[in-house]
C-alpha cells in the first residue's frame, strides 16, 4: 500500500515557487558582470597582442645571442668587414631617412595655458529678473512670454548666468557702442589673465585667430586686439565670422596649420560670441530660444610649437576632425539668421536640429573613431558591420565604446537636449557629462567658448591626470560637427584665474527635470 505525500498548503506552494524563481536573478547579474570582464579582457588582449607576440621572439634572440662564443662573434665581424660597402650604404640611407623624417614630421602643438572670462555678478540674470525685463520691454506677447518661461525652466541654466549690460537696461540699448564694449570686456578680460598667468609678452605672439559668429565690426575684432596690446606688425591675424558654436575648434585647427608653417612662435586663439546686437525682440517661437540659452562668455588659448614649452604646457594637440554637412539643404538652414514677418532679426532653430546634429555626429565619429579607438573596438565594429551586410540587415549596429579612448568629454553646452542626446548615443555616464551640464548651469551657452569652461571644470575638480585624453566636441551652424583631442602632459590643476575658483565646491548640483 502506497502512502500519499501530505498535501501542501498554499503558503508552501508559494514558497516552492519562489524557490524556483529567485535564484535566476543572481545568474543574470553574474552573466552581466562576466560579459563586462570578458569584454575588458578581450580589449587588453587585442591591445597588447603585438607585445605578447613579440616577447617570444625577443626571448629567442636573447637566448641565441647569449650562446654565441668568441668564434661566432669573430665570424660576424669578418662578414660585416667583407660587406663594408653594403653596411655603409645602409647606414647612409638610415641616417638620411631619419633626417628627412625629423625635418618634415608635423610639429607638436602645445597648449601652454588658457583663460576663460568670468562675468561680474551684477550682470547675472536670474529667471525672475529675466522674465520681468522681458515683460517690461513690451515687445513680447503673452504667448511668447509663456514660451520663454517654459524654455528657461527646462533649459538646465542656473540663476547665475549673465547677459550683457545693454540687456539690463529698460528698454534694452543694443547699440554698436554697447556691442563693442561687450566684445572688448570679454576678450581683453580673458587675454589679460592669459598674459599674466603665462608671462608671455604680447610682442612674442606670431599668430592670432579670433572667432565670433554674429558680431563682425570694422575694424575687425582681431584688429581691436592688435591695437589694445600693440602686437607686432608682421603678426598673422585671422577673423572668423558666421561659423557658429563649433568655430572654437575650427580656430584651433587653423592655428595648428599656421604653426606647422611658422617656426618657434606662439599662437593665440580667442573664442567668443556677442549678444548685445543679436537679441531677438519678436514673437516667433523658433527665434526666441537663443534668448533663453545664450549668455556672456569667452576664452583665450595660448598655443606653441616650441619644444622648450613642452615642460610647462598643459596639453598637446593630438587630432582635429571637422565635418561639414552644408551640402544638405535641411542641415544648412537648421540654424539660420533671418528676419521674421515683422522685420525683426534673429537666429531661427529648426525642429529638426537634433536629428541633423545626430547625423553630423555620426559622420564625425566615423572619421575620428579609427584615429583614437583601440584596435579591439575597431575589430568589433568591423565584425558587426559585416554581420549587418551579410547576415542580418536588422541587426542592431555596434556603438564603439569611446570611454576606452577618452577619460574626459567636453560636449558643447548648447542646451540640455544636446547633452542628453550625446550622453545616450555615446553611452556615457553622468560623470562623463558632468562638466557640460554644470557649465550650462553656471555660465549658460557661451557658444564656441563653452568647451573651455568645461575643461576648466575638470581641472578645478582635480580630475585631469598625466596621459589623460580629452575629447572636445562642438556643433555649429552650417551645419558642422567638429572634434579636438588633447592629451594631458602632466597632472593639471586649475589656474588662479579659473572661472570656477569661487564656486567649484558647490558643484555638481542637482538639476531638476
Which residues are the active-site residues? 245, 324, 408, 412, 441, 445
194, 157 contact by CB (below 8 A): no
**Number of other residues whose CB lies within 10 A of the CB of residue 191:** 22
Phi/psi region, residue 55 (left: phi>0; alpha: psi -120 to 50; beta: rest), is: alpha
- Give the SS3 label for residue 14: helix
501 contacts 494 by C-beta, under 8 angstroms: yes
Q: Read off φ and ψ for residue 5, nearest 5 degrees.
A: -65, 145
Rounded to 5 degrees, φ, ψ at 160 are -110, 5
Of 447, 442, 444, the residue nearest 499 (C-alpha)? 442
Measured CA to CA, the distance from residue 285 to residue 6 in angstroms comes to: 74
CA atoms 188, 191, 197, 202: torsion sign: negative
What is the spatial distance between Cα 206 and Cα 150, in angstroms, rounded to a whole number? 47
Strand pairing report for 298-304 and 315-324: unpaired
Compute the C-alpha angle 12/14/20, nearest 5°. 105
User: Considering only CA atoms, which of 496, 477, 111, 450 is closest in space to residue 298?
Assistant: 450
Residue pointed to by grid coordinates 585631469: 464
Torsion angles phi and psi, residue 27, rounded to 5: -60, -40
Main-chain phi, psi angles of 40, to 5 degrees: -65, -45
**Residues present in the chain in total:** 513
Is the Cα dihedral 496, 500, 504, 506 positive or negative? positive
Q: 157 exposed, middle or buried (CB, 10 Å; 0-12, 13-18, 19+)? A: buried
In three state form, how does the secondary structure of 350-396 look?
A: CCCHHHHHHHHHHHHHHHHHHHHCCHHHHHHHHHHHHHHHHCCCCCC
SS3 at position 459:
helix
Structural contact between residues 449 and 248, judged by C-beta atoms closer than 8 angstroms: yes
- 99 HSE (CA, 13 A, CB side): 6
| 405: Cβ contacts below 8 Å, ≥ 6 apart | 372, 373, 374, 377, 469, 471
CA distance 107 to 307: 9
Amino acid at each position: 500500500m502506497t502512502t500519499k505525500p501530505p498535501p501542501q498548503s498554499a503558503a508552501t506552494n508559494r514558497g516552492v515557487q519562489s524557490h524556483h524563481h529567485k535564484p535566476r536573478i543572481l545568474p543574470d547579474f553574474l552573466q552581466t558582470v562576466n560579459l563586462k570582464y570578458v569584454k575588458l579582457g578581450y580589449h587588453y588582449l587585442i591591445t597588447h597582442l603585438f607585445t605578447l607576440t613579440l616577447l617570444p621572439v625577443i626571448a629567442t634572440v636573447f637566448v641565441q645571442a647569449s650562446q654565441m662564443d668568441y668564434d661566432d662573434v669573430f665570424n660576424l665581424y669578418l662578414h660585416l668587414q667583407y660587406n663594408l660597402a653594403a653596411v655603409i650604404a645602409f647606414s647612409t640611407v638610415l641616417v638620411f631617412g631619419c633626417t628627412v623624417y625629423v625635418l618634415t614630421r608635423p610639429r607638436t602643438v602645445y597648449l601652454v595655458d588658457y583663460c576663460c572670462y568670468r562675468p561680474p555678478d551684477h550682470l547675472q540674470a536670474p529667471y525672475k529678473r529675466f522674465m520681468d525685463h522681458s515683460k517690461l520691454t513690451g515687445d513680447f506677447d503673452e504667448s511668447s512670454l509663456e514660451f520663454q518661461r517654459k524654455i528657461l525652466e527646462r533649459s538646465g541654466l542656473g540663476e547665475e548666468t549673465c547677459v550683457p549690460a545693454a540687456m539690463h537696461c529698460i528698454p534694452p540699448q543694443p547699440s554698436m557702442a554697447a556691442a563693442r564694449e561687450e566684445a572688448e570686456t570679454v576678450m581683453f578680460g580673458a587675454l589679460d589673465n592669459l598674459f599674466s598667468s603665462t608671462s608671455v609678452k604680447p610682442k612674442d605672439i606670431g599668430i592670432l585667430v579670433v572667432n565670433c559668429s554674429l558680431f563682425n565690426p570694422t575694424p575687425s575684432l582681431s584688429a581691436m586686439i592688435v591695437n589694445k596690446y600693440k602686437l607686432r606688425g608682421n603678426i598673422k591675424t585671422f577673423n572668423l565670422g558666421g561659423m557658429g558654436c563649433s568655430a572654437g575648434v575650427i580656430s584651433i585647427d587653423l592655428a595648428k596649420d599656421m604653426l606647422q608653417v611658422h617656426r618657434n612662435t606662439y599662437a593665440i586663439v580667442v573664442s567668443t560670441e556677442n549678444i548685445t546686437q543679436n537679441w531677438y525682440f519678436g514673437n516667433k517661437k523658433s527665434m526666441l530660444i537663443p534668448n533663453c540659452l545664450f549668455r556672456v562668455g569667452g576664452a583665450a588659448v595660448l598655443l606653441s610649437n616650441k619644444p622648450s614649452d613642452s615642460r610647462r604646457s598643459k596639453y598637446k594637440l593630438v587630432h582635429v576632425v571637422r565635418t561639414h554637412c552644408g551640402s544638405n539643404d535641411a542641415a544648412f538652414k537648421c540654424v539660420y539668421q533671418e528676419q521674421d514677418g515683422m522685420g525683426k532679426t534673429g537666429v531661427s532653430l529648426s525642429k529638426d536640429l537634433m536629428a541633423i546634429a545626430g547625423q553630423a555626429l555620426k559622420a564625425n565619429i566615423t572619421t575620428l573613431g579609427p584615429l583614437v579607438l583601440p584596435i579591439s573596438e575597431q575589430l568589433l565594429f568591423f565584425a558587426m558591420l559585416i554581420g549587418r551586410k551579410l547576415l542580418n540587415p536588422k541587426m542592431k549596429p555596434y556603438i564603439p565604446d569611446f570611454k576606452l579612448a577618452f577619460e574626459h568629454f567636453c560636449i558643447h553646452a548648447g542646451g540640455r537636449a544636446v547633452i542628453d542626446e550625446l550622453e545616450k548615443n555615446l553611452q556615457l555616464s553622468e560623470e562623463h557629462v558632468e562638466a557640460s551640464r554644470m557649465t550650462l548651469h553656471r555660465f549658460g551657452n557661451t557658444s564656441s567658448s563653452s568647451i573651455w569652461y568645461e575643461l576648466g571644470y575638470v581641472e578645478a575638480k582635480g580630475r585631469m591626470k598625466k596621459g589623460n585624453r580629452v575629447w572636445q566636441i562642438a556643433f555649429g551652424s552650417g551645419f558642422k560637427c567638429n572634434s579636438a583631442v588633447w592629451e594631458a602632459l602632466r597632472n593639471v590643476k586649475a589656474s588662479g584665474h579659473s572661472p570656477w575658483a569661487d564656486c567649484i565646491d558647490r558643484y555638481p548640483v542637482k538639476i531638476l527635470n
